[in-house]
Structure 1
Amino acid sequence: MQEVGFAVVGVRNFAGSYLRNIEELEAEGKIKLTAVVVKDQVKNAEKVRELRHRGIAIYSSYESLLKESKNSVDLIGLPVSIPTHAEMAIKGMKAGYDILLEKPPAPTVQEMDAIMRTEKETGRFTSIGFQFIHSNTIRKIKQFILEGKLGEIKEIAAKGFWSRFKSYYDRNNWAGTSIEMGKLVLDGPIHNAFAHYLNNMIFLAGSDMQSSAELKRVRAELYRAHSYIESDDNSCLEAETTKGTKIYFYVTHVPEEKRDPVMEIVGTEGKISWKMNEETKIELNNGETIEFDNEGLDPHKEVFRIAADKKLGLIEELYCTPENTRSFTVAINGAYESAKKIKAVPQELVEEFTNDEGEYQTVLPGIDDLIDQAFAERKLISDLGKVDWAVKTEWINVENYTDFNPFN
């Protein structure tokens, strides 16, 4: 079987995960790592030596990779900074390469549209690295829904509680920012760490296996408790699709206790409960219960397999594309328009301290109960009327949405 020559831009942070996944998949015979971009080859000297010893070409810039690797590279992985996603994907496709782009795909809907235009102009593809769209459970749930077994989908809701310490925000220049070097980042929990779970819901509400739902309107509240960042760290969002399905999303980076994301899907014929570890339980109104998990399929690796299969012509359709993640970006842009600004929680209500692991942690006491109640009642935090710092926001119509520009 022909192998897909894979390049990765970077070796640190999430690029390291790309390199590990590709290395583990090479034994399957579809993928071979052939090139890596390492800008700082002094700082990463040990990794550069290791890669060169394996016969992998090292480039000092993305531009040199694009110019010089056409004979060895078919597909480029871009686990790069959020504000560079669209620009680098477009540049890569125009140079003749297919792209695997890390999530979130791009901060604005107009950048998403530019990526899609470039796909059409060049005949190249961009696959998006939302791993759960590649997972056994999410695809099985979607098929179950499309077969009508859950009836009409009335609502989908998710919540998650993950602390983010100062070390997380210190890892690069754009973490915890809304804007970096004049470019939008929007690095809040809904757009980055928990982005998968919002995208899952929009995908599951879509009308076929290739599509996500089109959104009609979005309402959101964005709050910040950390004293040293500019982006949000507590977010809640509600959206309505053009078919009438309601979507609810509640996430925090300043919880009292870590809890991984969970999702509920409610239809007229029953309910589905899904956990991040992919434990899935379907409870139908007729009393039938169905349970399943990922059956050993690692969705992180499936991201690479599917991109390779598409390149090799083994499948016709990618699983996760700019087209079916566009609505995710519309939801994010609509959320920022609805919230208007990120509201700071009064610092006297916030606790910041060095925890037992030596990490500088921020906690907003009471946020866990607030999110649990909001999730249970399908309300935004301000609608609960329990805290003075919460601010009501307005719905934003996002049908035919083509431009997000907060600088206007």
Structure 2
Amino acid sequence: MKEVGFAVVGVRNFADSYLNNIAELEEEGEIKLTAVVVKDQIKNAKKVRDLRGRGIAIYNSYETLLKEAKASVDIIGLPISIPTHSRLAIKGMQAGYNILLEKPPAPTIQELDAMIKTEKETGKFVSIGFQFIHSTTIRKIKHFILDGKLGEVKEIAAKGFWPRFKSYYDRNDWAGKSVYQGQLVLDGPIHNAFAHYLNNMIFLAGSDLNSSAQLKQIRAELYRAHSYIEADDTSCLAAETTTGTKIYFYVTHVPEKTRHPYMEIIGTKGKIKWHMENEVTKIELNNGQINEFDCEDLNPHQEVFRVAAAKQLGLIENLYCTPENTRSFTIAINGAYDSAKKIKVIPHQLIKEFTNDQGEYQTVLPGIDSLIDKAFEARKLLSDLNEVDWAAQSEWINLENYNIFNPFI
């Protein structure tokens, strides 16, 4: 069987995880790293030497890769800055390559639709790196729902508490930005760090294994506690699908304690509880039946590469995660910003900013953990709790036939 040649654009930050995952997967015999783009070859001299020592071609620009790598590269991995996603994915497809694009797919629905249009025009594909759509547990849950075992899905809710330190926002020029160099980034928790878990819910509400749900409306609240960023760091939203499933999402980067994402799926025949850590899943049906499973040692980060390679080799018909089935996710993000209208700044006297025991500069909003827990249990947004003066009400936004997001008008 022919090996699938992968190129990776970049060697630092998340690009490094791409390189590590591909290196481990090469032992399986279907995937091979054949090219890497390294713009600053002086700063990354050791990495360049190591890669060249393994026989991997090094290019100093994306444009050079596109022109010269056809003989050895089938799929280009793009773990790149959010505002460049659509533009570079389109350029790659137009040059004759398939694309593995890191999440989130694009900041605006019109950029995503441009990718979909280019897929159709070129016959090339884009696989989106939402790894949990590739996971054992999420796909088992989707099959369970589609088989009717949970009954009608009434609501899906998720929450997550991940601190983000100053070093996280200092790692590149666009982190923590809403706009960078005139381009939208929307680098808040719902669009970046916690994006997987919003996408999971929309996917699980979809009508078949390859589709996500279509959204009817959304209401969202976006807040910022960090004093040195411009994007939101604490967000909540409520959405409704066109088939009536309610979706609720609560996340923060300024928690008192770290808690990994947790999701509940409520159906007319029972409840599913999913924990991101080890993907521990428990299904409790109304008839007393209980079913439990975990990730079965499948690494969803690596499955992203396996699935793209299988598509390249013609072994599967449908990719798991595509621009088409992440379209509702992007609409949800755009609609959330339309609903909130602006990011509400939490009064500085209510937050704590300090250097923690690990030497990281950290921001904490005291009380946010319990507020999110209450909102999650009540399926309300933070302002609906009527417990905090800084919470701001927002309006419902109709998402049917939604195809343009422009916050500048």
Tell me if TM exceeds 0.5: yes
Which runs of 5 or more structure 2 residues have no equivalent in the other structure? Answer: none
| Superposition deviation, residue 324 in structure 1 | 0.4
Matches within 5 A, 1:17-166: 17-166=17-166
Letter of the aligned partner of 2:310 in structure 1?
D
Partner of 2:326, secondary structure, is helix
Letter of the aligned partner of 1:328 in structure 2?
F
Paired with 1:342 and 1:215, the residues of 2 have a C-alpha distance of 23
Paired with 2:27 and 2:283, the residues of 1 have a C-alpha distance of 36
Letter of the aligned partner of 2:214 in structure 1?
E
Paired with 1:347 and 1:121, the residues of 2 have a C-alpha distance of 50
Give 1:168's aligned residue. Answer: 168
Give 1:305's aligned residue. Answer: 306
Identity across matched positions, percent: 78
1:403 aligns with 2:404: yes
Partner of 1:323, secondary structure, is coil
Matches within 5 A, 1:6-21: 6-21=6-21
Give 1:222's aligned residue. Answer: 222
Give 2:270's aligned residue. Answer: 270
Give 2:296's aligned residue. Answer: 295
Letter of the aligned partner of 1:330 in structure 2?
I
Paired with 1:392 and 1:182, the residues of 2 have a C-alpha distance of 28
Paired with 1:178 and 1:294, the residues of 2 have a C-alpha distance of 34
Letter of the aligned partner of 2:319 in structure 1?
L
Paired with 1:255 and 1:173, the residues of 2 have a C-alpha distance of 24
Letter of the aligned partner of 1:24 in structure 2?
E
Paired with 2:313 and 2:392, the residues of 1 have a C-alpha distance of 51
Paired with 1:97 and 1:206, the residues of 2 have a C-alpha distance of 29
Paired with 1:295 and 1:190, the residues of 2 have a C-alpha distance of 27
Paired with 1:57 and 1:102, the residues of 2 have a C-alpha distance of 22
Paired with 1:34 and 1:80, the residues of 2 have a C-alpha distance of 18
Partner of 1:404, secondary structure, is coil
Deviations 1:51-82 (A, max 9, x none): 00000000000000000000010000000000
Instruction: Report runs of 4+ in structure 1 exceeding 6 Å deviation.
Output: none
Letter of the aligned partner of 2:366 in structure 1?
P
Letter of the aligned partner of 2:258 in structure 1?
K
Deviations 1:341-372 (A, max 9, x none): 00000000000000000000000000000000
Paired with 1:174 and 1:183, the residues of 2 have a C-alpha distance of 10
| Superposition deviation, residue 398 in structure 1 | 0.6
Q: How many residues align?
A: 408
| Superposition deviation, residue 21 in structure 1 | 0.3
Paired with 1:29 and 1:402, the residues of 2 have a C-alpha distance of 42
Which runs of 5 or more structure 1 residues have no equivalent in the other structure? Answer: none
Paired with 1:390 and 1:269, the residues of 2 have a C-alpha distance of 35
Paired with 2:219 and 2:91, the residues of 1 have a C-alpha distance of 34
| Superposition deviation, residue 174 in structure 1 | 0.3
Deviations 1:120-163 (A, max 9, x none): 00000000000000000000000000000000000000000000
| Superposition deviation, residue 397 in structure 1 | 0.2
Deviations 1:1-45 (A, max 9, x none): 100010000000000000000000001111100000000000000
| Superposition deviation, residue 296 in structure 1 | 1.2
1:324 aligns with 2:337: no
Partner of 1:177, secondary structure, is coil
Paired with 2:360 and 2:13, the residues of 1 have a C-alpha distance of 18
Letter of the aligned partner of 2:123 in structure 1?
G
Paired with 2:328 and 2:67, the residues of 1 have a C-alpha distance of 33
Letter of the aligned partner of 2:338 in structure 1?
E
